[in-house]
Structure 1
Amino acid sequence: GNADIYSIDLSNQKVTQLTSHWAIDTEPEWSQDGRRIFFTSDRGGKPHIYQIELSSKDVSRVTFEGDYNARASLSPDETYLALVHGNSNNFKIGLLHRPSGTLQLLSKGPLDESPSFAPNGSMVLYATKNAQNQGVLRAVSLDGQTTNDLVLSDGSVREPAWSPLN
């Protein structure tokens, strides 16, 4: 079968299928209020971000620019979605302002991936490679002007995840 989005109620182990489409639906991201899920799907022919309203099961497309948009990370106030934005095999971190639909690029690419919003919403952490081709995590401010690399002395890092604020 194809990949769809499911949820599981941990209190009773009930599994609920949320999407049912011939396309590949992956990488779910819950809204803060639990009313919707953002996910990556190629149902339009190329990977883009969609959202499903859980009460109605209505699915709508969220991203329209570029050939590739994936790995949505929702800001704590739900104003922004950080995502991987690609054109011609050049993958950068984008910041989608949800109310206006405006997409701002935060990184230069070419192989940036795995964006993750800080719990306080002040920055986005993502995986990239430095000049020595070492996998690093890079923090970037929401205006894209300030960056800071988190580098291990030996080895590479990927797939950032934040701890909770409290």
Structure 2
Amino acid sequence: MNNKTLLLIDGNSLLFRAFYALPLLHTREGIYTNGVYGFLTMFNRVTAEVQPSHLVVAFDMDRKTFRNELYSEYKANRGETPEELAGQFKLLREVLTAMNVSYVEMQGFEADDLIGTLSKQAEAADMETIILTGDGDALQLVSEHTKVYMNRKGITDICVYDPAAVVEKWEVPPEQMIEIKA
């Protein structure tokens, strides 16, 4: 990798995965922390490995996006976020702020929309990009300059996808992954 590496982290995806991978943990005051703990475990492991020059965590701002305007049934079957998880989003943002880690969120867009935009901008600036996510939609972003670190199970099982790995697993190049998902 060159000396300019951007690590983009899908905050929603990893927090959800960590929450469901670990037993409920909470402070003495009853504040649930298992999702944040698992997120930080993945965060620390990957940042130590990648040693990025730039780092951003992306979050969904809320459930309504421009896609809901286009298709009212978009993600309509999704259940409510469990109460034990809901408060951990705010807690994670507070922890990231205390760690001086930048995060982005934008009304009307999902975290993966922001990650897609930032990864393409980084590629245009000749930066290597690593996307840490549990969302297979990110595989369409894989290129010679962009890899996806996909959280598969728990908080330690991470698979690295470059263009060859996408072709090996799915038998199509990354830019055709959107067709497989459709």
Q: TM-score, normalised by structure 2?
A: 0.25
Q: Give TM-score, length-normalised by structure 1.
A: 0.26
Higher relative contact order (CA 8 A, sep 6+): 2
